[in-house]
Amino acid sequence: MSEIFREVEVTIDDKKTSIKKEPIKNIFKFNSPPYIVVGATNSGKTTLCLDIIKNFSEECTKIYYVTSTEDNLLNEGKPGNISLIPKVFRRKPTYETIHGIWEDLTRELVAHHYDPNKYIKVLKKLWNESENTDLQTVLKELEDRKESIRKKQENYYKNKKINDLKSKELSTDDSNAFYCECLTRLLVDSASQNDTSKLTLEEMLMLNSLISPKPKNIFILDDVTAELNSLSTQRRTVHYKNSATRVGEAYKNILIDILTRGRHTGSLICMFLHMIDIIPKDQISNLILLDDSSVQKVINSRTFPQDMKKNVISFSSYVFKPEFRYHFLYINRGEQRYCVGKAEIVSDSLEFSDTNTELIKAYDLISQSLENEDIDESDESESEDESDDSLGF
């Protein structure tokens, strides 16, 4: 049983600084730059994956767990085993899989971005003019009302002794909020009353975003190193950003794109790696080290600053001890923040949001039906064989 890590004071270059343990939810955050987690085999990566999912599973909207690890049938359902994660959330770490997930996340990002011009375009497709109501007349009335609210609110803020620039900013926000609310209500009502078959996939995603909660996705890539190494020698090409690219290069480009833009997708993204050198160091904002071997990789890197290396060496000597099992060192490079975290072993079933609970049920039901079909076909085949034997063929 591991001991409790208590705050310690460390002297680095004659300067005293302390490091303490923080809860998982104080370390991992949605809308943060992706977390790079480095550690060797048996360093506690699966334990940390499960603990992250457990901490956020009830509030997140989607879960993507990309791993090459198979169920351990001998330990299925036992504490810390991957089988605790429902199969509907698990994916293999192929280029096509990661490309598809990343497209889903970026499409959601675009769909939830308020764009009045797109709203009006969809309204024109949906608008039912059977009642002889002109959409342009309605939009003109909305524009007039929006401007009236802006002027009224600007005078209100000025009377509150707020300076002119700030008054204009606040009044514009108020009028835009009114305009957005009216447009979204018109869109939702029109979609419920009219045929939506003429809308594109992107337009349907936008409509769904108006009645859906803001995305809070968990996207965990459990060791992409092996897949990247295997793809680097393949000569096949794939389409990436409308151009033919060698699959290994495309895979690496997607990882860099995720690192660069991941924080804007409303997601909690974690990449678990054996090797740190496949990731550009200037793209690493959140770094988690699971063991001494990962510390050595930071020390050996030429691109990490010397101050960071000194801190990592000093702090790690207090963290990576046998009595502190499943503890890790967290580095927030932007804030120059260091702390200790601990992954707790998940000992019971995970709890999910209502939507994800229904998704799990649907997936399991379909999987069971497909398995039963396979069994039925197998039985029929055996029956035919037995019949043939009885006829002497």
CB distance 35 to 356 below 8 Å: no
Residue matched to tokens 């698990």:
90
Task: Using the predicted structure, report yes or no on whether residue 268 has a pLDDT greater than 90.
Answer: yes
Beta bridge partners of 62: 217
Per residue in 73-86, pLDDT tens? 445 555 668 888 99
Per residue in 339-354, pLDDT tens? 999 999 988 889 998 8
**Long-range Cβ contacts of 200-204 (<8 Å, 24+ apart):** 202/107, 202/110, 202/111, 203/118, 203/122, 203/125
Q: Where are the domains of the chain?
A: 8-100+217-342, 116-211
| Tokens (6 digits) for 339 | 């702390």
Percent of the chain residues past pLDDT 70, beyond the cut: 88
pLDDT band at 57 (very low <50, low <70, confident <90, very high): very high
| HSE, side-chain direction, 13 A CA sphere, residue 326 | 20
Region 121-145 average pLDDT? 79
Residue bearing the bigger pLDDT, 159 or 211: 159
Per residue in 356-375, pLDDT tens? 999 999 998 988 887 776 65
CB atoms within 10 A of CB 326: 17
CB distance 24 to 343 below 8 Å: yes
Q: Which pLDDT belongs to residue 284?
A: 92
- Give me the CATH topology for the region 8-100+217-342: Rossmann fold (3.40.50)
Q: Which pLDDT belongs to residue 391?
A: 32
In angstroms and rounded to an integer, the radius of gyration of the C-alpha atoms of the chain is 27
* Rounded Cα distance, 51 and 40, in Å: 18
Burial class (CB in 10 A: 0-12, 13-18, 19+), 289: buried
